[in-house]
C-alpha cells in the first residue's frame, strides 16, 4: 500500500483542512510568541508588522486566538513523537486526528526508519474506522 492511497482514504473519511500558519513580526524582528492563522494574524497586525510563515514543526499546531488547526510540515522528530503518542493512545475517529496522520504520512519517505511503523498504524486505523461503518 502506497502512502498516497492511505492519504486518500484518510481524507475520504474526512480530515480537517488546516489554516495557513502565520506569525507576526515587527521591524525589530520580535514576534508575538503566538501561533496564528492568517485571519487572526491580520486582525492583530499593526502597520509595521509583517506576516511570517513557518512550515516546519515538531508537533501539530493550533491558532492561539481561534483554536483552528494550522498547516504545518511535520519534522521527522515530530513524526516519531506522533508514533510514540499513538502507541499509547490509538488515534481517535475524528477529523483532526486524521489530518495529523496525513501530516505524518506526508513527512516520511520509504528510506526513513519510522516509515513502516507509520504505514502500519495508519493501516490498522483505517481497518478499524472503515470496518466500523
Residue placing its CB nearer to Zn ion in the complex, 4 or 42: 42
Which of residues 58, 65, 81, 112 is near Zn ion by CB under 5 A?
65
70 contacts: CB under 8 Å, gap ≥ 6: 18, 19, 20, 21, 35, 37, 60, 61, 62, 63
By CB under 5 A, is residue 63 in contact with Zn ion?
yes
Closest separation between CB of residue 46 and Zn ion, Å? 17
Judged by CB under 5 A, the chain residues 17 through 46 that form the site for Zn ion are: 37, 40
92 contacts: CB under 8 Å, gap ≥ 6: none
Residue placing its CB nearer to Zn ion in the complex, 70 or 104: 70
71 contacts: CB under 8 Å, gap ≥ 6: 18, 19, 20, 21, 55
Residue placing its CB nearer to Zn ion in the complex, 40 or 126: 40
Which residues would be at the binding site for Zn ion (CB under 5 A)?
Answer: 37, 40, 63, 65-66
Amino acid at each position: 500500500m502506497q502512502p498516497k492511497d492511505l492519504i486518500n482514504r484518510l481524507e475520504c473519511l474526512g480530515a480537517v483542512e488546516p489554516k495557513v500558519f502565520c506569525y507576526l513580526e515587527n521591524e525589530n524582528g520580535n514576534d508575538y510568541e503566538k501561533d496564528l492563522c492568517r485571519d487572526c494574524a491580520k486582525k492583530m497586525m499593526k502597520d509595521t508588522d509583517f506576516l511570517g510563515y513557518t512550515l516546519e514543526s515538531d508537533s501539530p499546531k493550533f491558532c492561539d486566538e481561534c483554536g483552528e488547526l494550522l498547516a504545518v510540515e511535520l519534522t521527522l522528530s515530530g513524526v516519531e513523537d506522533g508514533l510514540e503518542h499513538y502507541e499509547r493512545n490509538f488515534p481517535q475517529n475524528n477529523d483532526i486526528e486524521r489530518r495529523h496522520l496525513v501530516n505524518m504520512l506526508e513527512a516520511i519517505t520509504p528510506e526513513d526508519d519510522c516509515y513502516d511503523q507509520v504505514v502500519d498504524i495508519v493501516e490498522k486505523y483505517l481497518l478499524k474506522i472503515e470496518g466500523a461503518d
